[in-house]
Amino acid sequence: MKKLYIVKNSRDFEKIIKTGRFIKNKCYVVYYIKNNLPYNRYGISVGKKIGNAVERNKYKRRLRTIIDNSKKDYVNTKDYIIILREHAKQKDYQSLETEFKSLLNNIKN
């Protein structure tokens, strides 16, 4: 994922979480808000309940790959904050990907 498509600033994270809408399932909580850019931006958060730093980074890499694979399907100029829940530890990559795609399909434009 290019740096252009990443939400890194903590003020942006706070703004999206406080003023944006959200949708969730057992593995993810996705906050989203409309942006004024011609592309989507993504922020990823994985809590300490998932595991140590090695495990958290593994799940972040998986999530970035899922986002890269499905980025073309969801061009709607929004900022997304994706929070991984503890239930995601029990899922394999394929089920994480299908749950993420089904969650983004439920977001209305």
The pTM for the full model equals 0.88
pLDDT greater than 80 at residue 12? yes
CB distance 50 to 89 below 8 Å: yes
pLDDT greater than 70 at residue 109? no
The pLDDT of residue 84 is 94
The pLDDT of residue 77 is 85
Write the DSSP string, 17-62.
HHHSEEEE-SSEEEEEEE-SSSS-EEEEEE-GGG-SHHHHHHHHHH
> Domains in the chain, please, with CATH?
3-105 (3.30.230.10)
> Which amino acid is located at 55 in the chain?
E
C-alpha torsion angle, residues 39, 53, 50, 19 (rounded to 10): -40
**CB-neighbour burial class of residue 19 (10 A; exposed 0-12, middle 13-18, buried 19+):** exposed
**What's the pLDDT tens digit per position in 34-84?**
988 888 899 999 999 999 999 999 999 999 999 988 877 777 788 999 999
